[in-house]
Amino acid sequence: MGNEEMAALFVEWNKGELDSFLIEITAKILAKKDDQGDGFVVDKILDKTGMKGTGRWTVQEAAEVSVAAPAISSALDSRYLSGRKEERVAASKILKGPSEMPPVDKEQLVSDLKKALYCAKVTSYAQRMGIIRAASDKHGWGVDLALCARMWRGGCIIRAGLLTKISNALATDENLVNLLVDPTFASEINDRQLAWRRVVSVGVASGIATPALSATLGYYDQYRRANLPANLIQGQRDFFGGKQFLIILSRMFSFALFARIMALSNRCVLMKKYYCTGHTFERVGKSTFMISVIGKILDLNLSTNICTVISCSPQTKKELSMFCVSY
């Protein structure tokens, strides 16, 4: 597609669900012709992005509150790479990409791009809201996220029509943990996720980097998984650093057997106190395990220092009490 065709496409997109300040100005930039010569202005701008530090500060804050923000960090990484223009020029003469482009249907690809961009935008806003919520909880700010979304509509470079839906979702459910699980957004993304995947796949097969689309899709795929291969990583961490990890117990697992295994292990579990009211374990010891029981025995709310048994059967409660006393 040429600049004028792309500009017209962005103009069209800006009339619908992708309506935003950035979509609007993208269309104008692409369409701007060089009044001092031939061609378009955008083609004469050096592909070396500047920065003032706001992206870096945002990623640093996300790390401080342990919130994944790959959409923002991937955009920041792209700026860093763009700044290494001389290195990229040299690398382009050495490193190879695909020799052939995959066949694509233009109309289908344009339709997929629109859907993929919508999914990425929602996921990006979800990550931003997650950072603000975590920082608010950490510092006791009491930030109203729905109000934030409304304020951003008033005069901000990230203002977008999408913010109205975001504000409504957050106002409807003040305890919404992530925009992706809001019923409306979840339905929309579920309907569009295959298009999202097709766009990223075409980019990979063509050797064209799609950092933000790829990063947000990776976030989505990890967030929607009940189980991740993080168990292997945690096992590696324990192997080389003596870190604690969670143990998953099956429904028929014997707590007495667990106690014997722990007695033979160089990792110790000390259940210092067992409270019948609230069923709370207090974990102590130089190196400890947090116990996660999966097969309907227990439902544990895990935090850094405390494991709270939310529900369990009377028999299980008795077994746990005996286990804590005997161990």
39 contacts 140 by C-beta, under 8 angstroms: no
Question: Strand pairing partners for 280?
Answer: 275, 308
pLDDT in tens, 177-211: 999 999 999 999 999 999 999 999 999 999 999 99
Domains within the chain, CATH numbers bracketed:
46-96+103-223 (1.10.1040.10), 230-326 (no CATH)
- The predicted-structure confidence for 18-67, as pLDDT tens digits, reads as follows 999 999 999 999 999 998 889 999 999 999 988 888 889 999 999 999 99
Q: Which residue in 286, 253, 249, 252 sits closest to 267, CA to CA? A: 286
pLDDT exceeds cutoff 60 at 311? no
* Furthest CA-CA distance within the chain: 87
pLDDT band at residue 251 under the 50/70/90 scheme: very low
User: CB–CB of 212/220 below 8 Å?
Assistant: no
Instruction: Tell me the torsion sign for CA atoms 144, 146, 147, 149.
Output: positive
| pLDDT above 90 for 173 | yes
| Angle, CA of 91, 96 and 99, to the nearest 5° | 145
The yes-or-no verdict on residue 285 having pLDDT over 50 is: no
CA distance 203 to 210: 6
Residue 160's SS3 state is strand
What is this structure's pTM? 0.74
pLDDT, one tens digit per residue, over 87-118 is 999 999 999 999 998 999 999 999 999 999 99
